[in-house]
Amino acid sequence: MSTRHEIVNVEQEKAWTETEGRHWVEYADGYDAMSRRFGEALLDAARIGKSDHVLDIGCGCGAMTIAAARQAPGGSSLGIDLSGPMLEVAERRADDAGISNAHFVKGDAQVHPFDSETFDIAISRFGVMFFADPVAAFNNIRRSFQPSGRLAFVCWQEMFQNEWIALIGGALASHVPLPEFGEPGGPGPFSLAEPQRIEEILGAAGFSNVSIENRKAPMQFPGSTTDEVETFLRDMPVAQDMLGKAEPEAADRALAAVRESLEPRFGPDGLFLDGAAWLVTAVNGGG
């Protein structure tokens, strides 16, 4: 990783370096499996050329950065993320795979000093919903583009369009209070759930030809048994926070309700619950 640059999104950096980041590092392969179909759809839409230079925003443990590098053997792929621990996994994965044209930097894409006119395309798999100032962030990203640069990302639709949240959250909510997922318009997993807001942000940031497609896909959860999936869910920071604030009896009832809701959904290949995302593409509008 290169030298750390200014971070303005300090709360998100803290979360993704500590609690959230640790969980993603522990279950890196599992999280990749959950999002695999959305990642495949993203790469199809991105149309990465063999000599393209790719920016992966919120790259996490590097799966998409490495996939992009494979599609651009004559180009390069740069992953940027706030999480040092996740970037260490990303670098190790690239080294293990012998991918020499994938690189990683710890930084805040909202203010990072990217070289101008560098990238042919920027991609992101669920990494662009956490900006403190999304217009500034997307404008900063766009300024790093070649004149013909393109943008492609996936972001979550609203919470209850996502079965994987609705089913589990509904079971928990019958016994413990659900957490806040960020202020309206603030950083959080559902900050780009409204297509109109996506269009307004990207337009204000200088993008044009914005396309927003509805994509739904089954998501495979880590673990082949209810016990293993329950361990994964219980270890998630948001679940630890919810259950830790509840009375022990209520927490036990909440976990039992989750098990009851999930057990009928297991198949021979494990647990699959549907996810709903927007697949967004746009081009550099100049200016």
pLDDT tens, position by position, 3-60? 445 777 788 888 788 888 899 999 999 999 999 999 999 999 999 999 999 999 999 9
Helix, coil or strand: residue 186: coil
- Region 159-180 average pLDDT: 83
Q: Is residue 251 part of a domain?
A: no
The domain that holds 201 is classified in CATH as 3.40.50.150
Inside any domain, residue 238? no
Percentage of residues of the chain with pLDDT beyond 90 = 65
Burial of 90 (0-12, 13-18, 19+ CB in 10 A): buried
Of residues 153 and 3, more confidence is placed in 153
Q: Kindly state whether residue 187 falls inside one of the protein's structural domains.
A: yes
pLDDT in tens, 234-254: 888 878 777 877 788 888 898
DSSP H stretches of helix in 72-133: 84-97
Question: pLDDT above 70 covers what percent of the chain?
Answer: 95
Considering the domain boundaries, does residue 17 fall inside one? yes
- How far is Cα 264 from Cα 249, in angstroms, rounded to an integer? 24
**Any domain includes 44:** yes
User: Is the pTM value of this prediction over 0.75?
Assistant: yes
The answer to whether residue 100 is domain-embedded is: yes
pLDDT score, position 2: 42
Kind of pairing between the strands at 145-156 and 119-125: parallel
- Residue-wise pLDDT tens digits, 178-215: 766 656 677 889 999 999 999 999 999 999 999 999 99
Please state the domain count of the chain.
Answer: 1
More confident residue, 19 or 281: 281
Range of the domain at 198: 10-161+180-220+274-284
Q: Which residue has the higher pLDDT, 118 or 286?
A: 118
So what's the pLDDT on residue 5?
A: 57
> Which DSSP state fits 118?
-
The answer to whether residue 4 sits within a structural domain is: no
Q: Decide if 55 contacts 121 (C-beta within 8 A).
A: yes
How large is the average pLDDT for residues 126-146? 96
Tokens 């994965």 belong to: 93
pLDDT for 3: 44
Q: What is the mean pLDDT of the chain?
A: 91
User: Could you tell me if residue 85 is inside a domain?
Assistant: yes
Span 137-148, pLDDT tens digits? 999 999 999 999
